[in-house]
Structure formats: structure tokens, C-alpha cells
Structure 1
Amino acid sequence: MIADEIRAEIEQLNAEKVAPGLAAVALRLAEALDQIPVGDAPTAQAVVSRDLLATMGKLRALSPPDVKGDVVDELAGRKARRLRGA
């Protein structure tokens, strides 16, 4: 189900803390999309899908990036490992 996938992505993005209202809208849109029977109302599916994609794009933009080390952190880690081994 689409709602399950959107819920998992929202959790991964930690979006509920940053924009709880927008996260709720995304979930509601995903649930609405799940309820539209496949093959019925293709225009409704397209409209809800477009709105869901736009909402998720906003959530992705607002969510804090994953904190990963940069090149400097990697070099510092290599140096520390080298010093420990010496």
C-alpha cells in the first residue's frame, strides 16, 4: 500500500518533527490514493498523486540531511586509526 511506503519514508526523513502538519497531509493523501480503486477515476488518481508528490518533495526539502562524515572527517579517522596502530 502506498500509505505504508509514505509512512516509512516520513519516519526515515524524521519529517514529523520538522513539519508535522505537512507530514499528516502526505499521509492523508496517500491513504486517499490507496482508497481509489485501480482503473477507476484515473483523473482523481493523477490529481492525488501529483499533490502527494509535491507534498513529499516539500517534506524532503525541509527534513534535515543525514549527518555523514565529509572528507575531512574521513581523513581524521584514518589518522586516528594510524596513530592507534603505531
Structure 2
Amino acid sequence: MFGNESAIAVEVDLLGVRDIAPGLVQLALTLAAIMDKGGNATALANTGRELRTVMETLRKLAPVKVEDDDVDQLLQEGVERRVRARRT
């Protein structure tokens, strides 16, 4: 099982925000490392809350990835069929 720091590092890489907000990324990794070390419940709850807030901000900053889904593929196929139909 992943620790918090590993999980956050993976998510940060998937989001593609290391270059966009390096300070927030470092803060997220530091908070996750603190969570992994453990401590008293109140400190962990506060750290977890801050980590959640930082990650929410990073998710908002992440560039939108454009990926074709099945609907886009069907639309494209329809356009191609209409173009072929007009040629004949």
C-alpha cells in the first residue's frame, strides 16, 4: 500500500502541475510526509485538512487534458461518413 507522500506524488504527476505551482506541490508533499510520520490525532487532523485544501487548489490549477471519448469518436465517424457520402 502507498503512503500518503507516494500517493500525493503520483497524483501530482498525473495532474501535471509540478511546473505550474512548484511551491504548492512541495507543500503538499511535505504535508503528506508529516501525515506518514504520524503524531497526535489533532495534529494529524489539522495536517490532513491543510493537505486536502492544497490538493484542491492543485486540481483547479491542473491543465485540462483533452482526450477523445466514445462520443467524440462517434461524432468524428459521422462527419467522415457525411464527407464520403457527398463525394459519391
Please give the range of the TM-score, normalised by the shorter of the 2 chains: 0.7 to 0.9
4+ residue runs of structure 1 moved beyond 2 angstroms?
68-74
Ranges in structure 1 where 5+ consecutive residues have no aligned partner? none
Question: What's the Cα RMSD here?
Answer: 2.3
Of the three residues 19, 32, 35, the one matched with 2:34 is 32
Q: Could you list the per-position Cα deviations for residues 35-81 of structure 1 after superposition, in whole angstroms to 9, with x for gaps in the alignment?
A: 11xxx410011000000000000000011112124899541x2133x
Of 23-32 and 61-70, deviating more is 61-70
Equivalent pairs counted in the alignment come to 79
Partner of 1:11: 13
TM-score normalised over the length of structure 1: 0.80
**AA partner of residue 5 (structure 2):** A
Shift in alpha-carbon separation, 1:72–1:33, aligned structure 2, 3 A: closer
Aligned pair in 2 of structure 1 residues 66, 41: CA closer, same or farther (>3 Å)? same
Q: Which runs of 5+ in 2 are unaligned?
A: none
TM-score (norm 2): 0.78
